[in-house]
């Protein structure tokens, strides 16, 4: 049970303010999710370069990783440490290889996200504190998704926090509670898809990844999810150039959207949207049940 915020910028002049706007939105959702918070941002980098966001309980593990990884890859690598997370920039073509090497070099680090432009930061604690730790207000980008969590059945841990990465440059956040995630987790395991936590949302994320590996587009995967995922949910998903929303057919969990010439915004409550520029004149509406919405740059 949780709060969700999302922002998809149409107006490039707002991009330097993405982190600041998302942070404000996220903090208004603290009551809905006091246990942990997370954010995914999409910020374009250099052509041909990819980003790998890692998490480690002990940030000391990141020391020297850039040099070691660079040697192993035979390519230049840069590393930015932010509290318990590190963003590694490396040649995009060598992403899979880099992940395998990191797993060997630093087995106690976890991959939060991988792709051309995505970065994911998440931790336990109040949303305002989490945003501060990672200096979220200073992040720039074209779109981003944030989440505040009130854990229902799985543990309050960093890895149990949202967003969950669903594949290259993809992520998912969830408000609600799935009722068939255990059997779905077993079904995915038989397909070779591993789910690391007990979290129902990670199962949904893994399900979408699997459907896309099978050849579906994200939109098609979300449509399939309407048949295969039981329970109550509002999902917000991010891709390299887009941002999507879907609610379950009963649609009890709240969702408000706002659109202007400058942006498309999502909030679990209208409160999350009140500081956005021009919100007074925005088109504000609620997404329909069992309907996939998607915006693309």
Partner 1 sequence: MAKDDHAPSTLPKYSSTFTPEVNAEIRRAAATGIYDIRGGGAKRRVPHFDDLVFLGASMSRYPLEGYRERCDTNVVLGTRFAKKPIELKIPVTIAGMSFGALSAQAKEALGRGASLAGTSTTTGDGGMTPEERGQSKTLVYQYLPSRYGMNPVDLRKADAIEIVVGQGAKPGGGGMLLGQKISDRVAEMRTLPKGIDQRSACRHPDWTGPDDLEIKILELREITGWEKPIYVKVGAARPYFDTTLAVKAGADVVVIDGMQGGTAATQDVFIEHVGIPTLACIREAVQALQDLGMHREVQLIVSGGIRSGADVAKALALGADAVSIGTAAMIALGDNDPKWEAEYQKLGTTAGAYDDWHEGQDPAGISTQDPELSKRLDPVEAGRRLNNYLKVMTLEAQTLARACGKNHVNHLEPEDLSALTMEAAAMARVPLAGTKWYPGMPGTSF
Partner 2 sequence: MQTYDLEADGLRGLNAALQSQSQTTNETAWEVINPRGSHAIAVGLDAPIEVTVKGSTGYYCGGMNAQATVNVHGSVGPGVAENMMSGTVVVEGDASQYAGATGHGGLLVIKGNASSRCGISMKGIDIVVQGNIGHMSAFMAQAGNLVVCGDAGDALGDSIYEARLFVRGSVKSLGADCTEKEMRPEHIAILADLLERAGVDAKPEEFRRYGSARTLYNFDIDNAY
Question: For residues 2 and 282, which CB has a smaller minimum distance to partner 1 in the complex?
Answer: 2
List 21, 273, 276, 292, residue binding partner 2 (CB under 8 A): 273
Of the candidates 258, 250, 235, 260, the residue with the CA atom closest to the CA atom of residue 289 = 250
One of 272, 276, 292, 293 touching partner 2 (CB under 8 A):
272
252 in active site: no
- Identify which of residues 137 and 254 has a Cβ nearer to partner 2 in the complex: 254
The number of CA neighbours under 13 Å toward the Cβ of 19 is: 18
Judged by CB under 8 A, the number of residues near partner 2 is 16
* Nearer Cβ to partner 1 (177/291): 177
Q: How far is the C-alpha of 197 from the C-alpha of 114, rounded, in Å? A: 18
- The window from 29-37, 62-70, 81-89, 118-126 that contacts partner 1 (CB under 8 A) reads 29-37
Q: How far apart are CA 295 and CA 96, in angstroms?
A: 28
Q: Does 270 bind partner 2 (CB under 8 A)?
A: yes
List the structure tokens of 130: 């989490």
Select from 59, 91, 128, 254 the one that contacts partner 2 (CB under 8 A): 254
CB 69 within 8 A of CB 36: no
Least distance to partner 1 from the beta carbon of 97, Å? 42
Q: Pull the structure tokens for residue 214.
A: 């099978």
Which is closer to partner 2, CB of 125 or CB of 254? 254
Active-site residue among 2, 52, 222, 265?
2
Burial 29-64 (b: 16+ CB within 10 A, else e): beebbbbbbbbbbbbeeeeebbbbbbbbeebebbee
Three-state secondary-structure class, residue 150: coil
Nearer to partner 2, 28 or 199 (CB): 28
- Between the CA of residue 220 and those of 81, 208, 284, what are the distances in Å? 36, 9, 26
- φ, ψ of residue 108 to 5 degrees: the values are -90, 10
- Asked whether position 286 contacts partner 2 by CB under 8 A, the answer is yes
Regarding 267 and contact with partner 1 (CB under 8 A), the answer is: no
Binding letters toward partner 1, positions 110-129, x by CB under 8 A: --------------------
Note the residues at the interface with partner 1 (CB under 8 A): 1-3, 31-34, 150-153, 175-177, 232, 252-254, 268
Note the residues at the interface with partner 2 (CB under 8 A): 28, 251-252, 254, 256, 269-274, 284-286, 288-289
């Amino acid at each position: 049970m949780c709060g969700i915020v999302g922002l998809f910028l149409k107006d490039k002049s707002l991009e330097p303010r993405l982190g600041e706007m998302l942070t404000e939105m996220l903090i208004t959702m603290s009551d809905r999710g006091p246990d942990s918070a997370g954010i995914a941002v999409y910020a374009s980098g250099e052509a041909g370069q990819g980003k790998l966001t890692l998490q480690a309980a002990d940030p000391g593990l990141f020391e020297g990783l850039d040099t070691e990884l660079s040697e192993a890859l035979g390519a230049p690598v840069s590393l930015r440490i932010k509290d318990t997370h590190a963003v590694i920039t490396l040649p995009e073509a060598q992403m899979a290889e880099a992940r395998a090497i990191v797993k060997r070099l630093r087995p106690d680090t976890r991959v939060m996200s991988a792709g051309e432009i995505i970065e994911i930061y998440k931790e336990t604690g109040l949303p305002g504190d989490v945003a501060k730790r990672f200096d979220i207000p200073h992040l720039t980008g074209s779109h981003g998704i944030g989440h505040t969590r009130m854990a229902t059945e799985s543990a309050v841990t960093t890895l149990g926090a949202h967003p969950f990465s669903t594949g290259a440059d993809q992520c998912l956040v969830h408000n609600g509670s799935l009722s068939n995630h255990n059997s779905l987790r077993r079904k995915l395991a038989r397909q070779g898809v591993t789910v690391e936590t007990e979290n129902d949302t990670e199962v949904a994320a893994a399900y979408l990844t699997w459907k896309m590996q099978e050849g579906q587009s994200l939109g098609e995967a979300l449509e399939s999810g309407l048949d295969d995922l039981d329970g109550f949910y509002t999902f917000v998903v991010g891709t390299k150039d887009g941002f999507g929303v879907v609610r379950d057919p009963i649609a009890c969990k709240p969702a408000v959207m706002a659109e202007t010439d400058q942006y498309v915004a999502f909030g679990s409550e209208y409160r999350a949207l009140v500081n956005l520029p021009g919100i007074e004149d925005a088109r504000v509406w609620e997404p329909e049940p069992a309907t996939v919405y998607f915006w693309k740059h």
